[in-house]
């Protein structure tokens, strides 16, 4: 079983893919999260798409699942206006599934804020936004979700062997086609996987870690939520990994 676990101008729509979906997906304006870019690569038979965060003028942080050896030439990176970003280097922290790309064109906006005070404490449940890219579009997509508090999340994540305090948990979501519309095209032998990040307000707080989909490609009823790596818990690891992080 594969584990996986949007005011500006918004055009609200219900996504229709081979049957009516209840997942409400909207477009994010490029000004909402300007430091987010689209990263795409072919991982054997699976096309994988994941958001990346400019943490400085040259370096992009990202996270995804892959058991294969990857090189910088395998990645296609575009900003939300569709401009290609040439990749000059790639490095992985495979244990924590944290990766960075060095981009040849300098990012002109404000990088992602990695300061301790920028991250939400999650002492209580909070409304959030799941952010991702479709495989065929450079427009950032968003879905309204809720995150549960830290203590409840620790209880849930420990059931799956995850270390206490390292993850942020989405609340239960049994919406039809949630997995299909926000993660993958099939539970078995998927040909595309779209990873996501989770944001509170305008600040990304978590990088996709895992989630489980059932045979109907809905979230698994015994664990109908996604887990996200809490950036605050991996903050120093990220700073040590990436040669330059501007806002710390």
- Residue pLDDT, tens place only, 138-186: 999 999 999 999 999 988 888 777 766 789 999 888 888 899 999 999 8
Same domain flag for 185 and 143: yes
**Inside any domain, residue 246:** no
Q: Specify the CATH number for the domain of residue 195.
A: 2.40.10
| Mean local confidence (pLDDT), 190-213 | 94
Write down the pLDDT at residue 175. Answer: 87
Same domain flag for 93 and 137: no
Same domain flag for 137 and 221: yes
Write down the pLDDT at residue 84. Answer: 97
Same domain flag for 18 and 47: no
Q: Specify the CATH number for the domain of residue 76.
A: 2.40.10.10
pLDDT above 80 for 198 = yes
Residue 28 per-residue DSSP state = P
Which structure tokens are listed for 37? 């870019």
CA 172, 175, 177, 181 torsion-angle sign: negative
Same domain flag for 220 and 143: yes
The answer to whether the beta carbons of residues 24 and 173 sit under 8 Å apart is: no
Same domain flag for 107 and 120: no
Q: By C-alpha distance, which of 245, 66, 223, 182 is closest to 74?
A: 66
**Inside any domain, residue 69:** yes
Phi-psi region of 72 (alpha: psi -120 to 50; beta: other; left: phi over 0): alpha
* Integer CA distances (angstroms), 20 to 13, 15, 69, 176, 218, in order: 12, 7, 38, 9, 13
User: In this predicted structure, which of 11-15, 122-126, 193-197 has the lowest mean pLDDT?
Assistant: 11-15
Query: What mean pLDDT, rounded, does the chain reach?
Result: 88
Same domain flag for 20 and 128: yes
| CA dist., res. 137 & res. 197, Å (int) | 17
Q: By C-alpha distance, which of 233, 210, 206 is closest to 223?
A: 210
**Inside any domain, residue 211:** yes
Same domain flag for 79 and 19: no
**Inside any domain, residue 226:** yes
Structural domain count, the chain: 2
Same domain flag for 50 and 107: yes
Higher-confidence residue of 224 and 10: namely 224
| CA dist., res. 135 & res. 218, Å (int) | 19
| CA dist., res. 134 & res. 151, Å (int) | 33
**Inside any domain, residue 248:** no
Same domain flag for 203 and 128: yes
The answer to whether the beta carbons of residues 195 and 50 sit under 8 Å apart is: yes
Same domain flag for 83 and 12: no
Residue 170 per-residue DSSP state = B
pLDDT above 60 for 87 = yes
Write down the pLDDT at residue 164. Answer: 63
Same domain flag for 139 and 226: yes
**Inside any domain, residue 9:** yes
Domain of 101 in residue numbering reads as: 36-111+235-241
Q: What are phi and psi of 130, to 5 degrees?
A: -85, 125
Locate tokens 């609200």: which residue? Answer: 12
* Residue 26: Cβ within 10 Å count: 18
Write down the pLDDT at residue 238. Answer: 97
* Residue 159: Cβ within 10 Å count: 9
User: In this predicted structure, which of 101-115, 140-154, 213-227 has the lowest mean pLDDT?
Assistant: 213-227
User: In this predicted structure, which of 28-32, 201-205, 218-222, 235-239 has the lowest mean pLDDT?
Assistant: 218-222
- Residue pLDDT, tens place only, 222-237: 778 899 999 999 999 9
User: In this predicted structure, which of 65-74, 75-84, 170-179, 188-197 has the lowest mean pLDDT?
Assistant: 170-179
**Inside any domain, residue 145:** yes
**Inside any domain, residue 61:** yes
* Residue 196: Cβ within 10 Å count: 28
Q: By C-alpha distance, which of 226, 8, 201, 230 is closest to 114?
A: 230
């Amino acid at each position: 079983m594969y584990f996986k676990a949007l005011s500006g101008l918004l055009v609200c729509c219900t996504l229709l893919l081979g049957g009516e979906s209840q997942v409400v997906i909207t477009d994010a304006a490029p000004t909402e999260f300007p430091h987010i870019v689209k990263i795409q690569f072919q991982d054997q038979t699976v096309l994988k798409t994941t958001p990346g965060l400019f943490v400085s003028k040259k370096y992009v942080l990202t996270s995804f699942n892959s058991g294969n050896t990857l090189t910088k030439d395998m990645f296609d990176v575009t900003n939300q206006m569709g401009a290609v970003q040439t990749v000059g280097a790639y490095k992985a922290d495979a244990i924590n599934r944290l990766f960075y790309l060095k981009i040849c064109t300098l990012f002109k906006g404000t990088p992602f804020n990695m300061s301790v005070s920028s991250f939400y404490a999650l002492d209580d449940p909070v409304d959030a936004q799941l952010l991702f890219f479709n495989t065929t579009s450079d427009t950032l997509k968003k879905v309204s979700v809720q995150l549960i508090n830290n203590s409840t999340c620790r209880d849930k994540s420990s059931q799956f062997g995850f270390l206490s305090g390292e993850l942020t948990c989405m609340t239960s979501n049994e919406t039809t086609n949630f997995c299909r519309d926000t993660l993958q095209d099939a539970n078995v032998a998927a040909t595309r996987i779209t990873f996501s990040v989770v944001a509170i307000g305008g600040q990304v707080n978590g990088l996709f870690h895992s989630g489980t989909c059932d045979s109907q490609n809905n979230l698994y009823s015994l664990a109908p939520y996604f887990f996200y790596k809490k950036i605050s818990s991996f903050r120093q690891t990220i700073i040590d990994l990436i040669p330059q992080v501007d806002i710390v």
